Amino acid sequence: MISDHDFKQIDKYLYEIPKTFRADMRVPARFYADPELLKAIQGDRSLEQLVNTATLPGIVKYALAMPDIHQGYGFPIGGVVATQLPDGIISPGGVGYDINCGVRLLATQIEKEEITPYLDDLASALYTNCPGGVGKAGHIKLRPGELDVLVEKGANWALTRGYATASDLERTEENGCLAGADAGKISDRAKTRGKDQVGTLGSGNHFIEVDAVDRIYDEPAARQMGLFPSRITVQIHCGSRGLGHQICSDYVKRLQKAVHQYGLILPDRELVCAPLSSPEGQDYLAAMKGAANYAFVNRQVLTWHIRRSFEQVLAGKIKNHHVYQIYDIAHNMAKVEEHEVDGRRIKVCVHRKGATRAFGPGSPVLPGIYRNIGQPVLVPGTMGTASWVLVGTKESMTQTFGSICHGAGRVMSRSKAKKNIRGTRLREELEKKGIRVRAGSMSGLAEEAPMAYKDVDRVIQVVHGSGIAKKVARLIPLAVIKG
């Protein structure tokens, strides 16, 4: 375990484990925290995992971790690692099993008081129309060969099928499609697992949540996004389902051989990787992009289901029940980007595992409507607490390769949460607070209890206080839908 004397505090919210800590480190390891979060971070092996990532071939600048850091597979969840092209590595463990698990934020012009009488019916409609649960199939039946088109075209497939609008794609990271996805690099097993799951929520920490805007911190930015006090919003948090999980499993196995073939020395076999320029690295990148595109489509089809749920429940009762998209961002991705390192612009492969992109104002990849304020950043909290909307900053570009946290971060394992928390009691407590709950499993609900996570407001204060993101709005939950 890494103790207090192994790192130094270099700013109010920033700590560093120096390169000299271990002989195999290629760069220092940095992490963001405050004193309270630091105690939680030291409760597992996440800092040790962070140090391990600092040994990876091709890594530049720092191995980084966000304040929601916790132990993961090889890389810590909340970790950010950039490796220099062409021969820096790409690692499935640096992306995660749920490739492009991400968050989409939708908004409305409905006031909280208007929707309150219909919340129970809306929660039930969302639960019915948006299938959730392990292995759960969706309502969309793909034609033979259509999955290959979907994983290569991403949200453009949804647009041609009538599940998306042009505005939805404009307000999605990468317009909902990573170029270079190749269905031929995805196994038949992965395709079989994914073909019936388009437009499904899954299980675990995935959810749909109806929220109200609790407080605005940056009025100009909020207004530009279409966020106003007491207005109703909807969050979707899910990813690439069985397809993404199988792709990760397939390439973890395949790249074990590549580690030996290319003579890579790793402190943990879970860091399995390959040079990005290698055939194995390129194949994984093409398959990962396919899973990412699948996830964009998955959230897009769920958006379509959410819109029809609002129509079913609110038509004739609330005048304007239109649901529009604010933004959709990914976490659990590896992307080739240009960043400044040691005064030079270089191409790097940025792994964001349980971390999300947070590009600052002026970035040419942002939609025109947001380019002057910075990228919207969506950070969901837990069922009984709050979620946050932020924007990326110039500081995030210089400090963290344009990255921040993706959530609150666990402090209690899923198995421990199930032992210590009763799902039925948790549901009762949430409903006493006025939060409608629809869940297929009480044990699954217990896994995601607020007490199993860090304080999301504290996590947000760290990223805001360190300058790598700026607060825009705080959201509070009114209804939670889980698999």
Residue 18 domain-assigned (yes or no): yes
d(CA 223, CA 324): 14
Residues 6+ apart with CB under 8 A from 91: 56, 74, 75, 255, 271, 272, 273, 334, 351
Is 446 among the domain residues? no
Looking at residue 383, what is its pLDDT? 83
Q: What residues are designated binding site for GMP? A: 205-209, 331-332, 380-383, 387, 406-409, 482
Closest among 98, 341, 106 to 231, alpha carbons compared: 106
Gyration radius from the chain CA atoms: 21
> How many angstroms from the chain centroid is the CA of residue 175?
16
Axis-axis angle for helices 119-129, 279-314 (nearest 10): 140
> Does residue 219 form part of some domain?
yes
Number of domains the chain contains: 1
Question: Residue 143 burial by CB count (10 A; 0-12/13-18/19+): exposed, middle or buried?
Answer: exposed
Q: Residue 437: inside a domain, yes or no?
A: no
Residues with a catalytic annotation lie at: 406
107 falls within a domain: yes
Backbone dihedral angles phi then psi of residue 203, each to the nearest 5 degrees: -135, -160
DSSP string, 290-335: HHHHHHHHHHHHHHHHHHHHHHHHHTTTSS----EEEEEEEEEEEE
CA dist 347 and 85 (Å) reads: 6
- Quote the DSSP letter at residue 80: E
Q: What is the pLDDT of residue 62?
A: 97
- Secondary structure (DSSP) of 402-454: SEEE-S--BSS-HHHHHHH--HHHHHHHHHHTT-EEEES-HHHHHHT-GGGB-
List the structure tokens of 220: 């100009």
What residues form the annotated binding site for Mn(2+)? 98, 206, 237, 331
The one-letter amino acid code at 47 reads L
Kindly state whether residue 303 falls inside one of the protein's structural domains: yes
- Asked whether residue 421 is domain-assigned, the answer is no
Domain that holds residue 474: 4-411+453-482
The CA distance from 477 to 450, in Å, is 12
| pTM, entire model | 0.97
pLDDT at 25: 98
Residue 24's domain is classified under what CATH number? 3.90.1860.10
What pLDDT does 384 receive? 83
pLDDT for position 81 = 98
DSSP states of 139-204: S--PPTTHHHHHHHHTHHHHHHTTS--HHHHHTBGGGG--TT--GGGS-HHHHHHHTT-TT---ST
Contact (CB, 8 A) for 258 and 280: yes
- 87 falls within a domain: yes
What is the spatial distance between Cα 216 and Cα 225, in angstroms, rounded to a whole number? 12
Residues contributing to the annotated binding site:
98, 205-209, 237, 331-332, 380-383, 387, 406-409, 482
pLDDT in tens, the chain (483 residues): 788 999 999 999 999 999 999 999 999 999 999 999 999 999 999 999 999 999 999 999 999 999 999 999 999 999 999 999 999 999 999 999 999 999 999 999 999 999 999 999 999 999 999 988 777 788 899 999 999 999 999 999 999 999 999 999 999 999 999 999 999 999 999 999 999 999 999 888 899 999 999 999 999 999 999 999 999 999 999 999 999 999 999 999 999 999 999 999 999 999 999 999 999 999 999 999 999 999 999 999 999 999 999 999 999 999 999 999 999 999 999 999 999 999 999 999 999 999 999 999 999 999 999 999 999 999 999 888 999 999 999 999 999 999 999 999 988 888 888 888 888 999 999 999 999 999 988 888 888 888 889 999 999 999 999 999 999 999 999 999 997
pLDDT computed for residue 82 by the predictor: 98
Residue 344's CB: how many other CB atoms inside 10 A? 7
